Amino acid sequence: MPPSRAAAPAGPAAPRDGAHVVKAGDTLYSISRATGAPVDAIARANSLGAPYSLRVGQTLRIPGASAASVSIAAAPDADVGDLARNVSYGAPASRPRSLFDWPVQGRMIGSFGLSEAGKRNDGVNIAAPVGTPVRAAADGEVVYRGSELEGYGNLLLVKHDDGFVTAYAHNDAMLVKKGDRVRKGQVIAKVGQSGSAKEPQLHFEIRQNLKAIDPVALMGSL
């Protein structure tokens, strides 16, 4: 009989996947933010393709997360920052005010920051007639085109140098696609009333390394 051997010590257990049951208002981005699992990893684990449509009651595998880590309440609805976190950024650099131009001319109906009602606006809202051309605020690359973020309607994100991203929401028509290079002043969309907009308008944001910046601080009054 061969000599007996002590059992080899067990190695660390591989992390187990957790599960998340989709609730009303959940998006893949809000689930990613709540669990810490990357959006693309959740999509691959559940064979989801863009635009990542979910249904209430659907059970999603959350790669590398324990059951405890995904039992927390769902994070608030995703916003532009959740999309922008998937963009590669460089170190911020000082730039002249002329880096950006206003994407549309119109009447300012929503200012940056907290409103009197306590609601946060990460950009500005500019009223303009339906079909008014929306122009790229600076040279860049389209990194998102879609309508999956609740309330934003038809949304474009354009990546620029030095970690900047601009967002253009509530569009009627979107005239560019993901991956397109655009030039400052190029017409990329038409003003609309999609999403939660109560009148025709453009919601416009500027972010640098995910942080929302008041467009008026960079470009002056409209």
127-149 pLDDT tens trace: 999 999 999 999 999 999 999 89
Provide mean pLDDT across the span 91-114: 77
5-19, 65-79, 159-173 — most confident range:
159-173
Calculate the average pLDDT of the chain: 79
Give the per-residue pLDDT at 106.
94
Dist. CA 41–CA 51, nearest whole Å: 15
Cβ atoms of 144 and 170 closer than 8 Å = no
Quick one: CA dihedral 75, 79, 81, 84, positive or negative?
Answer: positive
Confidence band for 205, pLDDT divided at 50, 70 and 90: very high
CATH architecture for segment(s) 18-77: Roll (3.10)
74-78, 80-84, 122-126 — most confident range:
122-126
Q: Which residue has the tokens 């810490």?
A: 36
Q: H or E element: which one contains 23?
A: none
107 vs 63, which has greater pLDDT?
107
Cβ atoms of 168 and 80 closer than 8 Å = no
Phi, psi angles (nearest 5°) of residue 150: -60, 130
115 vs 88, which has greater pLDDT?
115
CATH architecture for segment(s) 97-219: Distorted Sandwich (2.70)
Cβ atoms of 126 and 101 closer than 8 Å = no
Give the per-residue pLDDT at 222.
79
Token digits of residue 186:
């190029």
Provide mean pLDDT across the span 150-170: 94
Q: What percent of the chain has pLDDT over 70?
A: 74
Give the per-residue pLDDT at 15.
41
List CB contacts of 99: < 8 A, sequence separation 6 or more: 138, 160, 164, 218
155 vs 23, which has greater pLDDT?
155
Tell me if 18-77 shares its fold with 97-219. Answer: no
Provide mean pLDDT across the span 114-132: 91
- pLDDT over 50 at 9, yes or no: no
Provide mean pLDDT across the span 32-52: 77
Domain ranges of the chain: 18-77, 97-219
